Chains A and B, each alone.
Chain A
């Protein structure tokens, strides 16, 4: 009886395998970054109007950005200014708008045209005689921009165990904790599945080639034998963080810190290593809180899917060196999404040419908040409506009350 049962089971398994082998694999696209990753950055103001006329430009645009973040003594951003440079390499007209929560837009150094400003837009239009540099400084509303910055900075300075307030000076036992956190990590919708080896090898090669050329991979469809099992994929933009923590000369004695300056440089991938924590101990002499200067850029995601002993996965497949295809698929998806997430931070302000080369450098500096920059209004223009409503309500209540008081006086 047992033998009969075993035979039946074996027969069913064999039939299933035959059926599965005979069923054609289904074509599915790998997770598409614009669909599974958050939309920001680049910044996209909620109320941003669209340019009523179609954008126009010839050829590919190259974008470079310098994002200058003013932080207070605790590390919180209080001002964000962006110098966006757009290089047009082509002859012809250009008209486009860059959506951004702008408070003010001014011409940047070396610009060959003057930027315009509309509600939540930087406006460019003109004629390129073959080569034209457009540069604008955009002063952004902090409340609508800070959440898209790549790192969070926390700085805590204590003297004799008590926190040192901004501008305050004290002497005693000094302790400084600086924490820089890669804030780019998100959870993206992804899947696991059994891929067909040939199509997988082609897709992985395509992804690697696109990243080498610094463009998005196109045509990332593969064939799958099994259904897709949804999973959450944690994705972050790898960042290179360099900077200094600086005390005013002669106000702090810290071991290893020459002239009161501590230098650091870290690669934060946002997943295995999401933050760097620097703890310093020393002696303060009439010291104020130290100043932080940071330079943050996106780092190369590396090549976690380098083919074994060959130039491509297609050749590895011919040599039967593909290995575990499920694992290779997972690594390829992770690479594709990581690259896409990093590219998002290369355009803090949107590039009119989303497929064009882009790079951004974030510069964080401790600065004193100014009256104007400390305000993080939610709209481009001051609206006094609420004030008028409150005033009207007060008057509505006050007039009858005054009448009653007058009547009884």
Chain B
């Protein structure tokens, strides 16, 4: 009877640690990745792989005041559905997740569920303005460029070059939040906006919308949309022999854009996208080291297209950096707090710790800002022959090195 009681006590203590299994003296903690694996697999898989790489790599076994821990990463597919994303968060909490890494869909509802359980959520893709609020959403963090930062950087880069810009967003949350950020960024230069359009994300042909932009005498397009819509806009413009300059946020580098335009690789040439810089001032060393580890573990991520010379094009794991960095920040916070059971302590420690990010940047949050990527870190890259390289006519981008994308 005594033994049974002792076992029950030990079992109870172990359950309180918030993990989902144990391996000898090292307990396993669950990190949930809530992302659209089925709808935009590149985004979902990249986020999950980054988290797994940190969990099995530098984060590995975590030594805290409460003992040693390792991590297990579990994937929850949102299918870009807010409802499913919320249900996933509820399930992840029930599974004992100590943290949730999220693409951002449904976050406006799901954060409360995680907050009630004192579980941190880190968004590593969507940059919408309302997502992160250090005061009102104390458990929500983000390591990804903000829409605000991307939109203002696009405005300051595009306005001096182009007379009139068409702002185009798709009807997804992502597209609408982006349009909102662009409205704000261009509000001081309304004369630069030729037209503002919302296009359907799933429409097979976007020619009518693109024609409206052309009739509004737009001299450039900024397309803030999911990859399929971006490809649709490019196809509609170039298909009508309209060689208008085009700019996008980070979705422009999604392999899906190039895959959909594989039959017309020249249509992609000149496309400029804005994203978080993959390398920092310290050089490409940290990112290349991260990329090597990533590719050793998960293999090279092929885009599925070739250059005109016939070389296979690969995709650098730039978005994987963010989930990777969050796991490392989480570990630093756990070590600073009173152990993994001290959930309040972990949340407040997340505001006080920093780590070296995968790209060599300083990565961390603070009490007044839960965004881990500063707006300054947005760079621009231009496609040429299905690969991209940082532009030379922007001070930040000009300092960055080119990441090899050929195999």
- Please determine whether B369 and A114 come into contact, CB atoms closer than 8 angstroms: yes
B395 touches which of A52, A114, A130 (Cβ 8 Å)? A130
B281 touches which of A93, A115, A116 (Cβ 8 Å)? A93
- Please determine whether A126 and B374 come into contact, CB atoms closer than 8 angstroms: yes
Q: How many A-B residue pairs have CB under 8 A?
A: 61
**With contact pairs A92-B281, A93-B281 given, residues A126 and B377 touching in the complex (Cβ less than 8 Å):** yes
Is A304 part of the contact surface with B, judged by Cβ < 8 Å?
no
B356 touches which of A53, A127, A128 (Cβ 8 Å)? A53
Residues facing B in A89-118 (CB within 8 A) are 91-93, 95, 104-106, 113-118
Is A123 part of the contact surface with B, judged by Cβ < 8 Å?
yes
- Closest residue of chain A to B365, judged by CB? A116
Residues facing A in B369-398 (CB within 8 A) are 369, 374-377, 395-396
- Chain B nearest CB: distance from A134 CB in Å? 11
Is A49 part of the contact surface with B, judged by Cβ < 8 Å?
yes
- Please determine whether B351 and A113 come into contact, CB atoms closer than 8 angstroms: no
- Please determine whether A113 and B395 come into contact, CB atoms closer than 8 angstroms: no
- Please determine whether B366 and A116 come into contact, CB atoms closer than 8 angstroms: yes
Q: In the complex, A49→B352 CA distance in Å?
A: 9
B374 touches which of A51, A118, A125 (Cβ 8 Å)? A125
Is B367 part of the contact surface with A, judged by Cβ < 8 Å?
yes
- Chain A nearest CB: distance from B130 CB in Å? 17
Residues facing A in B73-98 (CB within 8 A) are none
- Chain A nearest CB: distance from B132 CB in Å? 12
Is A196 part of the contact surface with B, judged by Cβ < 8 Å?
no
B362 touches which of A91, A104, A125 (Cβ 8 Å)? A125
Residues of A within 8 A of B352 (CB): 49, 118-119
Q: In the complex, A104→B354 CA distance in Å?
A: 20
**With contact pairs A49-B352, A125-B362, A125-B374 given, residues A116 and B396 touching in the complex (Cβ less than 8 Å):** no
- Chain B nearest CB: distance from A379 CB in Å? 13
- Chain B nearest CB: distance from A86 CB in Å? 15
The DSSP consensus for interface residues of chain B is mixed
- Please determine whether B354 and A126 come into contact, CB atoms closer than 8 angstroms: no
- Closest residue of chain B to A55, judged by CB? B362
- Residue from B280, B355, B362 whose CB has the most chain A CB atoms within 10 Å: B362
Is A250 part of the contact surface with B, judged by Cβ < 8 Å?
no
Q: Mark A127-141, 1 if CB is under 8 A from B, else 0.
A: 111100000000000
**With contact pairs A92-B399, A129-B395 given, residues A118 and B366 touching in the complex (Cβ less than 8 Å):** yes
Residues of A within 8 A of B367 (CB): 116-119
Q: Mark B230-249, 1 if CB is under 8 A from A, else 0.
A: 00000000000000000000
- Chain A nearest CB: distance from B129 CB in Å? 13
- Closest residue of chain A to B351, judged by CB? A118
Q: In the complex, A117→B364 CA distance in Å?
A: 11
Is B23 part of the contact surface with A, judged by Cβ < 8 Å?
no
- Closest residue of chain B to A126, judged by CB? B376
- Chain B nearest CB: distance from A352 CB in Å? 14
- Chain A nearest CB: distance from B18 CB in Å? 24
B368 touches which of A52, A56, A116, A130 (Cβ 8 Å)? A116
- Closest residue of chain B to A115, judged by CB? B368
- Please determine whether B354 and A113 come into contact, CB atoms closer than 8 angstroms: no
- Please determine whether B368 and A105 come into contact, CB atoms closer than 8 angstroms: yes
Q: In the complex, A67→B362 CA distance in Å?
A: 30
**With contact pairs A93-B280, A118-B351, A129-B396 given, residues A113 and B369 touching in the complex (Cβ less than 8 Å):** no
- Please determine whether B374 and A113 come into contact, CB atoms closer than 8 angstroms: yes
Residues facing A in B312-368 (CB within 8 A) are 351-356, 361-362, 365-368
- Please determine whether A126 and B280 come into contact, CB atoms closer than 8 angstroms: no
B354 touches which of A53, A114, A128 (Cβ 8 Å)? A53
Residues of B within 8 A of A126 (CB): 374-377
- Residue from A119, A125, A127, A129 whose CB has the most chain B CB atoms within 10 Å: A127
Residues of A within 8 A of B353 (CB): 52
- Closest residue of chain B to A128, judged by CB? B376
Q: In the complex, A406→B365 CA distance in Å?
A: 55
Q: In the complex, A212→B66 CA distance in Å?
A: 58
Residues of A within 8 A of B395 (CB): 91, 127, 129-130
- Please determine whether B362 and A95 come into contact, CB atoms closer than 8 angstroms: yes
Q: In the complex, A52→B328 CA distance in Å?
A: 14
- Please determine whether A91 and B354 come into contact, CB atoms closer than 8 angstroms: no
- Closest residue of chain B to A381, judged by CB? B348
- Closest residue of chain B to A132, judged by CB? B376
- Please determine whether A116 and B399 come into contact, CB atoms closer than 8 angstroms: no
Residues of B within 8 A of A116 (CB): 365-369
Closest 5 A-B residue pairs measured CB to CB?
Answer: A116-B366, A126-B376, A129-B395, A127-B376, A93-B281
In the complex, besides A114-B369, A114-B374, 9 extra interface pairs with C-beta distance below 8 angstroms are A53-B354, A53-B356, A53-B362, A93-B280, A114-B375, A116-B367, A127-B281, A127-B377, A129-B395
Question: Would you list 12 pairs from A and B whose C-beta atoms are within 8 A, ordered by A residue?
Answer: A114-B369, A114-B374, A116-B366, A116-B367, A116-B369, A117-B368, A125-B362, A126-B374, A126-B376, A127-B396, A129-B395, A129-B396
Binding site for A on B (CB under 8 A): 280-281, 351-356, 361-362, 365-369, 374-377, 395-396, 399
